[in-house]
Structure 1
Amino acid sequence: MHVFYYDENYMYAGEEYVNTDVLPPNSTNIKWDPSILNPRFDKKKNAWIEAATEEYKESIKPIESAPSKFELLEKQFADLFYVVATGGE
């Protein structure tokens, strides 16, 4: 059986396969949704919930890179084509 461990604060603490039908202490066989960044087990709901704060979520968002030279040229070409197609208006 595949089990997921949680610590004393119910935060995810690892996983492993065990050769038993009985769950070890501080574990569950319930997998969390992959969209959860920082899983914490809620024993009352018998489900994993999100423990990450909004501040943490914002801090790990990738920084948008500046457009490449090719992307800039592509936009300029599209703008120029629009001007020519509309008769210079």
Structure 2
Amino acid sequence: MHIYYYDKKFKYQGEDVIDNDELPENATDVRPKEGLYLPEYDENKKEWFESATQEYIDSLKPKPQPAADVTMLKKQVALLTLQLSQLQRGGAS
């Protein structure tokens, strides 16, 4: 049986596979929903819910690169592609 552990505050602590049907203390066989950042278990409802704040979730997402950085990288790729094609043809032309 696949089980999911939680701490005294019901925060997710990991998972395990056990050979018997008896759940250990602070564990459930209810799988956390996909996409939760800080899963917390509700014993009464027998379900996991999101306990992370939106601010915390936003802090984990990568920051978008400024457009100038992307433009510079595109130019570098174009230049390297040109240099590679010149080398494959036997040198600069």
TM-score normalized by the length of structure 1:
0.73
1:22 Cα deviation after fit: 1.1
Corresponding residue of 1:76: none
Higher helix share: 2
The one-letter code matched in structure 2 to 1:58 is D
Gapped runs of 5+ residues in structure 1? Answer: 72-89
Question: What displacement does 1:68 show?
Answer: 3.4
- Alignment-derived partner of residue 44 in structure 2: 44
Q: Secondary structure at the match of 2:40?
A: strand
TM-score of the aligned structures, taking structure 2 as reference length: 0.70
In structure 2, runs of 5+ residues without a counterpart are: 76-93
Matched residues, number: 71
Instruction: Work out the CA distance in 2 between the residues paired with 1:68 and 1:31.
Output: 44
Identity of aligned residues (%): 35
CA RMSD across the alignment: 1.4
**SS of equivalent to 1:56:** helix
